[in-house]
Amino acid sequence: MDRQDRIRNFCIVAHIDHGKSTLADRFIELTNTVAKRDMSAQLLDSMDIERERGITIKLTPTTMKYNYKGEEYTLNLIDTPGHVDFSYEVSRSLMACEGAILVVDASQGVQAQTLANVYLAFDAKLEIIPVLNKVDLPSADCEKVIKEIEDIIGIPAEDAPRISAKTGLNIEEALQRVVENVPPPHGDINAPLKALIFDSYYDSYKGAVSMVRIVDGKVKAGDIIKFMQTGKSFEVTEVGIFAPKNVECEILRAGDVGYICASIKNVSDTKVGDTITLLENPTPMPLDGFKVAVPMVFSGIFPLDGSKYEELKEALEKLQLNDASLHFEKETSTALGHGFRCGFLGLLHMEIINERLEREFNLDLITTAPSVEYKIKEVNKEAYLISNPSFMPSVQSIESMEEPMVKMEIITPPEYMGNIMDLCSDRRGEYKNMQYLDANRTKLSYIMPLNEIVYDFFDKIKSLSKGYASMDYELCGYKESDLVKMDILLNGDICDALSIIVHRSKAYGRGRSLCEKLKEVIPRHLFEIPIQAVIGGKVIARETISAVRKDVLAKCYGGDVTRKRKLLEKQKEGKKRMRKLGSVELPSEAFISILKIDD
Amino acid sequence: MEEKDLELNNTQPIDEKFADIGESVQETESKVTWKDELVEQEEIEETVDQKIERRLEELERKRKEELEQNQKPKKRALWSNKKIKKFDKIRYREQKCKEWEVRIVQQNMRDDKLGLYIHIPFCDRKCDYCDFVSYSMGLDAQKEFKEALFKEIDMYRKQCAKMVFNSIYIGGGTPSVMYEGFIYELSRKIYSTFHFEGDIEFTIEVNPNSVTSSKLMEYLRAGVNRVSVGVQCIDSKILANVGRFQTIDNIDNTFNLLHKMGFINISADVMIGLPRQSLDAVRDTIEYLIERNVKHISVYTLQVEENTQLYKNIKMGIIKPLGDNACIKMYELVNKMLKQAGFVRYEVSNFAIPTYESRHNFKYWKDVDYLGLGVSAHSFLEGYRFNNTPRLDEYIEKINNNELPVIDKEFIRDSERRTEYIMLSLRLATGLNLKKFRKRFNEDLLKSRANQIQTLIKGGYVYIEDGFLKIAPQHFYVSNRIILELL
C-alpha cells in the first residue's frame, strides 16, 4: 500500500454543543496519541477562554496513528468551532480535509448550524460521515434523527454509527468509518511544492508559524520557500506535525498536515489562504485561497491607559496572525484618544477578542458600542461605506443610506414560534418563509437588518425559547433605510464614542433607555450633568445626574488616619480608570452600556 | 481699650468679655500642675478638695442668683434677647473670631509636642451605629484591662523617654463606665511615665448615663480639664431608635454636674442624619448646647458602617436611613446657628468658641506625632503608623507575653504622607500651606495640579488666601470630592 493511501484528513462539523470536542478527545485517547496522564477534557481547546466557556474558538489540528486491518493509518483531525460567528474558521479547516464527520445530537436533532456547517462541507466537496452522538441520553431518538438527516440534509444515514462520546460507546466504529469512507489525499509527491496555509500563529521563539496542508510535493528544513501572494521568500527552519503539540519531523509530504517555521518576523507575511511553494522549483498555479472573511460588526477598542496604544497595536497584530478574520485600523476619538476600529465576525467574536487582549496581553480596554457597516450616498459623490458613526456626514448632504441585511434562519420548537416571530418583527425583520421540519421543529426565514441583531438578538432568541431555538445567518446585501445618527451630549459636550446610527423608528426608545442607563453608570459629580440624546440638533431624550451635595469623611477617630487614607487612595484608583470628557468623568462601563439596554 | 487688652491677653476667652450670653463662669480653668502634686500628693489633694468645695459653694450661690433673676420665662432667649445689640455683637465677634482663629491656629501649628491617646474598650451597651471597639463587661474585665494597659504604658517608657507630651485624650468606648478610681490611677501612671511640659490639655469622653459627681471629682483630681460629652441628640426617642438609651434628664444632670464642678472647657458630640431625626430635633439640640455654655461642638453625619447593627437593621428594612437632602439641611442649620452663637468652624466637623479648639485633635491633622494605647488604639510615631489589636483577649494575652499588642505597622513614605497631608490639612479651616507643602514634598501643588485647582477655583469650591489653599466653607460638605481632585 502506498504511503499516501494510508493518510486520512478529516474534520468534525456540528452544531454548537453537539459534542465535537468530546468526540475528538475520545479519538485521541483511542489512538494513544496523548499519554493518559496528560489527557484532560476538551484537550484541543487549549485556550483558557475556550475551556471556561466550553466552546471551541480556534481550529486545532492533531495527527493520530491508527491500526486498521494490519495497516497503520495516519489520521489528521481538525477540530472546528461551532458557533455561528466562527463559520469562517470552519470553512478554512474544511479546505485541508477530504472528509468530515457530521455529529448530530440524537436528542436535539438537526439544528441551524448543523445545516450551515454541512453546507460548507458540501461546498468543499467533502465526503460526509454522519454520526449520532449522545445516544445514551434517555431523550435520544435515533430513528427520528436519522430520518431528519436524510430528509433535511439529503444524505443516507441509515447505518450511521450510534455513539456516545461521553461514555466512549462505538467510538472505534466511527473511526473505522473514517478510514473506510474518506478518500486518501490525491496529491503528487513529485510535483512542485504546493502547500495551503489554513492557519497561522505567532510563537515568540520561532516567529510566525504557518499551519499547512501539503497538496503536492514535499518540504523540509533548509528549503527556501516562497509565499505566492506576498512574493516573499524564507528559509525553512523547522517542519513538523501536531500530536497535538508541535512535534518536529524530517519532512512533510503531499497529503500531510503540519507546520512550517521559517523565522518569519513579520506577522503579515503569512497570510491565511496563501499558497507556499519552493523558490527554486515553483508551482505555476497557486491554490484557490479562502474567501476573505467579511467582518460584520465593528467597534472601537481603546487602551484605558492612553500610553498603552503601542502595546495594543502589537497585541492586535499578533492576534490577527492567529485570527485572520480580525480586521483593524487606527481610530481617534475626542473622548477616548487613540485606538483602533476593529471588525469582527459577530458579537461573540468581539467579546472573545476583547477577553484575549485583556488576558493574554494584560491590557485594560474600553470598547465602544458595536456598529455595522453602512453605505452612504452623498449628493454628487460616489457611495461609500462607514462603520464609525462619528464619520457620518450631516443629514443635508446625504442622498440615501443603506444598511446591511442578513438572511436569518431560526429553527425552533413550535411553542416558541409566536414569541420569536414577535421579536423578529420588532427588530424590523421581513418574514420570508416557514417550513415544518417535523412535528417538533419549525424553520423560520427572515430578512433582517444586521444592525438589529448585533447586540443581543442571539441571547434573546435563546431566552425566549428556553434555549431550544437555534439560529444562523448570512449577509445578503444592502437595502435603503431611514437611518439617523444619534449623538449623546454630556453636560453639553458631544461624546463621539457614544454616537450610534439607528433606524428613525427606533431612535426615540433607544435614546431614552441609553440616557437612563448612562444616568445609572456615570457617578455623580460636584455639579449637575444633563445627559441628552440628540438627533440633528433636536433633543429627543434627557436625564439629569444631580450634583453630589454630601461626600465627607467622618472624623479621624482616635487618629485612625490610615483607614481614611486607604479609602481615598481606593477612590483615586477608581478615578484613574475614568475617561475625562470635557468636565465629565466617565467610567469605562459607560461605553458598553449601550449594549445592555433593553428597548 | 478693651480691645487692646483682649489681644494682649491670650488666655482669656473672648466670649467672656463680650458675651453676656449664658453663664459666664469666671473661675480660672482647672489646670492642675501635676509636678507639684507628685511631690506632695497628699497635701495637694487636700487643697484640691478644698478648692472644689469652695467652687461648689460659689457656683451654687451664682446659680441661685441667676435663677432668681430669670424667674420670668426666659426659655431660649439666647439671641432673641437684646435684639438690637445682637447684630453689632455678631459682627464684632466675627471680626474677632477671625483674628483669634489665625492666632490659635498658628499656635497649634507650631505645636510639636506629642499627644497621648488612651482607648477604653468598654461601654454599657454598644450603640447600633457604632463600629468602634467596645465590650460591655464587668469589673473583672475592667481590672484585667487596667493591668494590661499599665504594662503597655511601661513598655513605651524607654522609647518615649526623650519625647515631650502636652495632651492626653481618653476616648473609647465610654471611659466614664470604668470603675471609680481608675482614671485617677491612670493619670498617676501617665504622669510618672511620660514627660509633659507646659500646660496640658487633658480630655475625657463621658456618656451622660454614667457620669456621677464622685467620678467627676475624681477626674478633676486626675487633672482632667476638658470633658467631651456624648450628647448626640436631645430627643431620646430618636436615639433609642438607633440603640442608644439616654434621656434629657441624664444630659441635664451631666451638664449640671459639670458646671457645678467648675468645668469650663466642655465639648459635646452631636450627630445629624439619624433615622427619624427632624430638623427641629437638631435645632433643639444645638440650642440646648449653646444654652448650656458648651465651648466646643463636634458635629458628625451618621455613617452607616458595615458590621454594625444599624447596617443590618437598614438592610432588613426595619430602619429607614435619612436622605442626603435632609442631612444637608441639618448641616446648614447647624452651621448657621453655631456661627451666630460665636463658634468658629476650625475643621470640617469641629466648631469651637475661639481658644477652645481641641489641641489634641490638631495633632491628628498636623504633622505631629501621637501615641495611642489600649485596645485598637492608633499611633503615629517616628514616621510609623501602627495600631493595636481590636480584640481585648488578644490585647491582654500579648501584653502578658511581654509583647506589644501592635498588629499593623506601616512606615509612611512620602507619597502616602503627601496624600495624608492634603487630606488632613484641607479639613482645617486654615487650609493647606502651599509653601510648606512645597518644602515638604518638593512639589508645587499649584503647578502639578494646575488644571484641577483652576477648575475648582472657577467653581468656587476652593480659594487661595495668603498662601493657603482652602475649601470654601459652603462646600465643606463635599470636601471628600474636592480632596480627591487634588491627590
For residue A190, what is the DSSP state? T
At residue A58, φ and ψ (nearest 5 deg) are -100, 145
Q: Can you give the pLDDT at residue A128?
A: 92
Give, for A503, the enclosing helix (H) or strand (E).
strand A500-503
- Yes or no, beta carbons of A565 and B364 under 8 Å apart: no
- In a mutational test of the A interface, the residue from B129, B299, B407, B423 whose CB has the highest number of chain A CBs within 10 Å is B423
With a cut of 90, say whether residue A236 has pLDDT above it: yes
Q: How buried is B289 (Cβ within 10 angstroms: 0-12 exposed, 13-18 middle, 19+ buried)?
A: buried
Alpha-carbon gap, residue B399 to A430, rounded angstroms:
81
| A565 closest CB neighbour out of B117, B327, B423 | B423
Q: Which residues does A511 contact at the CB level (< 8 Å), separation at least 6? A: A486, A533, A535, A540, A541
Q: Can you give the pLDDT at residue B42?
A: 45
- Give the residue from chain A lying closest to B115, CA to CA: A559
Distance from CA of B387 to the nearest CA of A (A): 8
Q: Can you give the pLDDT at residue B31?
A: 44
pLDDT digits (tens, 9 = 90+) for A205-234: 888 888 899 999 999 999 999 998 888 899
Q: Can you give the pLDDT at residue A30?
A: 86
Q: Can you give the pLDDT at residue B47?
A: 60
- Yes or no, beta carbons of A559 and B117 under 8 Å apart: yes
Percentage of chain B beyond pLDDT 90 is 38
User: What are the chain B neighbours of A558 within 8 Å (beta carbons)?
Assistant: 117, 119, 132, 171, 372, 376-378
Kindly list the distances between the CA atom of residue A114 and the CA atoms of A120, A163, A346, A470, A548, in Å, as whole numbers in the listed order: 10, 17, 18, 10, 55
Q: Can you give the pLDDT at residue B49?
A: 61
Q: How buried is A41 (Cβ within 10 angstroms: 0-12 exposed, 13-18 middle, 19+ buried)?
A: exposed
pLDDT bucket at B118, cuts 50 / 70 / 90? very high
Residue A315's SS3 state is helix
With a cut of 60, say whether residue B10 has pLDDT above it: no
- Yes or no, beta carbons of B477 and A583 under 8 Å apart: no
CB atoms within 10 A of CB A430: 14
- In a mutational test of the A interface, the residue from B310, B409, B419 whose CB has the highest number of chain A CBs within 10 Å is B419
Least trusted range by pLDDT, from A56-70, A313-327, A487-501, B70-84: B70-84
Sign of CA pseudo-dihedral A359, A361, A365, A371: negative
With a cut of 80, say whether residue A594 has pLDDT above it: no
With a cut of 50, say whether residue B9 has pLDDT above it: no
Radius of gyration of chain B (CA): 23
pLDDT bucket at A134, cuts 50 / 70 / 90? very high
* Contact predicate A518/A542, CB 8 Å: no
Domains annotated for chain A, with CATH where assigned, are: 4-181 (3.40.50.300), 194-278 (2.40.30.10), 297-367 (3.30.70.870), 375-481 (3.30.70.240), 484-596 (3.30.70.2570)
- In a mutational test of the B interface, the residue from A548, A561, A569, A575 whose CB has the highest number of chain B CBs within 10 Å is A561
Residue B343: closest CA among B351, B332, B334, B355: B351
- Yes or no, beta carbons of B380 and A560 under 8 Å apart: no
pLDDT digits (tens, 9 = 90+) for B316-369: 888 888 888 888 899 899 999 999 998 988 888 899 988 888 889 888 888 789
For residue B188, what is the DSSP state? H
Helix axis angle, A417-426 to A457-464, nearest 10°: 160
Strand ranges, E, within A193-313: 194-203, 207-216, 218-220, 224-227, 233-235, 238-242, 246-249, 251-253, 257-264, 275-278, 297-303
- Yes or no, beta carbons of A552 and B387 under 8 Å apart: no
Q: Can you give the pLDDT at residue A58?
A: 65
Helix axis angle, B248-261 to B41-69, nearest 10°: 120
Q: Which residues does B97 contact at the CB level (< 8 Å), separation at least 6? A: B14, B342, B344, B354
Q: Which residues does B377 contact at the CB level (< 8 Å), separation at least 6? A: A558, B117, B118, B119, B387, B388
* Contact predicate B360/B367, CB 8 Å: no
Q: Can you give the pLDDT at residue A83?
A: 65
Give the mean model confidence (pLDDT) for residues B176-187: 93
| B480 closest CB neighbour out of A527, A553, A583 | A553
- Give the residue from chain A lying closest to B388, CA to CA: A560
Distance from CA of A304 to the nearest CA of B (A): 19
pLDDT digits (tens, 9 = 90+) for B451-470: 889 988 988 899 998 889 99
Q: Can you give the pLDDT at residue B46?
A: 52
Give, for B468, the enclosing helix (H) or strand (E).
strand B468-471
With a cut of 70, say whether residue A509 has pLDDT above it: yes
Alpha-carbon gap, residue A487 to A483, rounded angstroms:
13
- Give the residue from chain A lying closest to B131, CA to CA: A557
User: What are the chain B neighbours of A560 within 8 Å (beta carbons)?
Assistant: 378, 387
Distance from CA of B70 to the nearest CA of A (A): 38
With a cut of 60, say whether residue A293 has pLDDT above it: yes
Burial A115-154 (b: 16+ CB within 10 A, else e): bbbbebbeebebbbbbbbbbbeeeebbeeebbebbeebbe
Higher confidence at residue B268 or residue A152? B268
Alpha-carbon gap, residue A202 to A316, rounded angstroms:
12
Higher confidence at residue A472 or residue B160? B160
- Give the residue from chain B lying closest to A554, CA to CA: B300
CB atoms within 10 A of CB B340: 16
What is the residue extent of each domain of chain B? 1-412, 431-487
Burial B117-136 (b: 16+ CB within 10 A, else e): bbbbbbbeebbbbbbbbbbe
Q: Which grid cell is B311? A: 447596617
pLDDT bucket at B89, cuts 50 / 70 / 90? low
Least trusted range by pLDDT, from A149-158, A522-531, B1-10: B1-10
User: What are the chain A neighbours of B410 within 8 Å (beta carbons)?
Assistant: 562
- Yes or no, beta carbons of A526 and B461 under 8 Å apart: yes
Alpha-carbon gap, residue B285 to B333, rounded angstroms:
11
pLDDT bucket at A388, cuts 50 / 70 / 90? confident
Torsion of CA A573, A578, A581, A585, to 10 degrees: -70
User: What are the chain A neighbours of B378 within 8 Å (beta carbons)?
Assistant: 558-562
Q: Can you give the pLDDT at residue A474?
A: 82
pLDDT bucket at A69, cuts 50 / 70 / 90? confident
Alpha-carbon gap, residue A502 to A499, rounded angstroms:
10
Alpha-carbon gap, residue B115 to B381, rounded angstroms:
10
Q: Which grid cell is B4? A: 487692646
Average pLDDT along chain A: 84
* Residue whose C-alpha cell is 469651637: B352
Give the mean model confidence (pLDDT) for residues B287-314: 90
At residue A301, φ and ψ (nearest 5 deg) are -120, 125
Q: Can you give the pLDDT at residue A55?
A: 62
At residue B162, φ and ψ (nearest 5 deg) are -100, 10
pLDDT bucket at A391, cuts 50 / 70 / 90? confident
Alpha-carbon gap, residue A431 to B31, rounded angstroms:
93
Alpha-carbon gap, residue A477 to A280, rounded angstroms:
44
Give the mean model confidence (pLDDT) for residues A186-213: 86
Q: Can you give the pLDDT at residue A131?
A: 93
- Yes or no, beta carbons of A568 and B119 under 8 Å apart: no
User: What are the chain B neighbours of A562 within 8 Å (beta carbons)?
Assistant: 378, 385, 387, 408, 410
With a cut of 60, say whether residue B22 has pLDDT above it: no
Least trusted range by pLDDT, from A187-191, A242-246, B41-45, B257-261: B41-45
- Yes or no, beta carbons of A549 and B324 under 8 Å apart: yes
| A562 closest CB neighbour out of B327, B385, B477 | B385
Q: Can you give the pLDDT at residue B79?
A: 44
* Contact predicate A274/A26, CB 8 Å: no
Alpha-carbon gap, residue B259 to B216, rounded angstroms:
11
Q: Can you give the pLDDT at residue A129?
A: 93
Least trusted range by pLDDT, from A564-573, B106-115, B170-179, B221-230: B106-115
Look at the domain B1-412 and name its fold. Answer: pyruvate-formate lyase- activating enzyme (3.80.30)
Higher confidence at residue B144 or residue A458? B144
Least trusted range by pLDDT, from A56-60, A540-544, B37-41: B37-41
- Yes or no, beta carbons of B349 and A568 under 8 Å apart: no
User: What are the chain A neighbours of B129 within 8 Å (beta carbons)?
Assistant: none
Q: Can you give the pLDDT at residue B102?
A: 53
At residue B62, φ and ψ (nearest 5 deg) are -55, -45
Q: Can you give the pLDDT at residue A47?
A: 63
Alpha-carbon gap, residue B266 to B226, rounded angstroms:
6
Q: Which grid cell is A229? A: 501572494
Distance from CA of A313 to the nearest CA of B (A): 31
Q: Can you give the pLDDT at residue B27?
A: 41
- Give the residue from chain A lying closest to B116, CA to CA: A558
- Yes or no, beta carbons of A550 and B324 under 8 Å apart: yes
User: What are the chain A neighbours of B117 within 8 Å (beta carbons)?
Assistant: 558-559
With a cut of 50, say whether residue B73 has pLDDT above it: no
The one-letter code for the residue type at A160 is A
Q: Can you give the pLDDT at residue A113?
A: 78
With a cut of 80, say whether residue B19 has pLDDT above it: no
pLDDT digits (tens, 9 = 90+) for A332-381: 888 788 999 998 887 778 888 888 888 888 888 888 888 888 999 888 88
Q: Which residues does A422 contact at the CB level (< 8 Å), separation at least 6? A: none
**Could you tell me whether strands A233-235 and A224-227 are parallel, antiparallel, or unpaired per DSSP bridges?**
antiparallel
| B478 closest CB neighbour out of A549, A562, A572 | A549
The one-letter code for the residue type at B341 is A
The DSSP bridge partners found for residue A483 are A503
Give the mean model confidence (pLDDT) for residues A325-330: 85
pLDDT bucket at B286, cuts 50 / 70 / 90? very high
User: What are the chain B neighbours of A555 within 8 Å (beta carbons)?
Assistant: 298, 300, 349
Instruction: Residue count of chain A, please give it.
Output: 599
The DSSP bridge partners found for residue A386 are A374
Least trusted range by pLDDT, from A128-137, A455-464, B188-197, B332-341: A455-464
The highest-confidence range among A50-54, A449-453, A553-557, B129-133, by mean pLDDT, is: A449-453
- Yes or no, beta carbons of A565 and B420 under 8 Å apart: yes
pLDDT digits (tens, 9 = 90+) for A543-563: 999 888 887 766 556 678 888
Alpha-carbon gap, residue A536 to A534, rounded angstroms:
6
- Yes or no, beta carbons of A572 and B461 under 8 Å apart: no
Q: Which grid cell is A5? A: 493511501
- Yes or no, beta carbons of B327 and A550 under 8 Å apart: yes
Least trusted range by pLDDT, from B117-121, B134-138, B180-184: B134-138
Q: Can you give the pLDDT at residue B469?
A: 92
Kindly list the distances between the CA atom of residue A4 and the CA atoms of A33, A216, A252, A253, B72, in Å, as whole numbers in the listed order: 20, 11, 12, 9, 120
Distance from CA of B161 to the nearest CA of A (A): 22
Alpha-carbon gap, residue A302 to A9, rounded angstroms:
41
| A552 closest CB neighbour out of B301, B385, B420 | B301
Q: Can you give the pLDDT at residue B224?
A: 92
* Contact predicate A297/A367, CB 8 Å: no
Q: Where are the alpha helices (DSSP H) in A443-580?
A: 457-464, 504-521, 561-576
- Give the residue from chain B lying closest to A565, CA to CA: B420
* Contact predicate A385/A356, CB 8 Å: no
∠ Cα A427 A333 A507 (to 5°): 25
- Yes or no, beta carbons of B364 and A561 under 8 Å apart: yes
Q: Can you give the pLDDT at residue B154?
A: 93
Give the mean model confidence (pLDDT) for residues A495-514: 88
